[in-house]
Structure 1
């Protein structure tokens, strides 16, 4: 009976961690500057990202259909690194020094709070929709991005933007639009779920 209770407690703790990770927090994940991984190195091959760079792993995991996303992997996009946690351990993959990953989930009716994007648990409303995206550098007026992007199955559009800029982001779908200012410095959040299309 004690063994069952311990297993149940462990399962509930893991479920709570999954439910509160990434989308529910605006605090960055704690990581050690001295080391990019824990003593136990997780096996990333099972998740299709072994040997990939941080940017490649982000793009790969963002594209996985929701039904195929593993519950054994937590993947949190911080401003400068991708933090990965599996039952085997934890590791961190650095992201490009000159690029910042912002994952945007525009919505019409329903959204959720989000600070640092979880590639495995965050869900948006508009999965598979073709969304017009424009990004303009506020300092120079330069248009950095102006194209139609298809939201991933999880409802997010992933944007690799120049680091250390302030920009105006506009998204549009079916005649509805939303505009906001975004930052891409090292203290910026990587998940944006407040853009309501009206």
Structure 2
């Protein structure tokens, strides 16, 4: 008989193991057996909980996004100013938990898989919109709505680009990623303000 209360624990172990396995491999070229072994459960149990590898992958993306959202909400609660909100969002995206080698490599694999998976594409679209909206909410009081949207788009592109560079391990990032994005934000805000009468 299954142990009562074990399902959520095993599901989390499996989604964590999927992220680790995909991150370590740098691609979706992993099996349910690989993932189950990492999670310390049988492949049959993995199939019981998720049905298929694709369902497990979608659940893993959801788990990553949920964790990122929890961390973002907690950081935003501590922010005291609109500019502080922007800094909090940037810091969370590059926190050691979010910007670890395996997590970043898994994100890249998920983006590649999104071309063939409508559920993953939908989740990543939601993530992109949420990141943009969070950045705009902090930037709007500083520069107005139109400029906030433009600056947020650039900052989000930088965040995604720095993830790609880390995942591909192409010479690494020359400077602290938080500092790079913060510098972009500050330069853009100063530029907008300098053009105002």
Do Structure 1 and Structure 2 share a fold, with TM-score over 0.5?
Answer: no
Q: Which structure shows the bigger proportion of residues in helix conformation?
A: 2
TM bracket (short chain):
under 0.3
Q: Which one has the largest radius of gyration?
A: 2
Q: Which structure shows the bigger proportion of residues in strand conformation?
A: 1
Work out which structure has the larger RCO, using CA pairs closer than 8 Å and 6 or more positions apart in sequence: 1
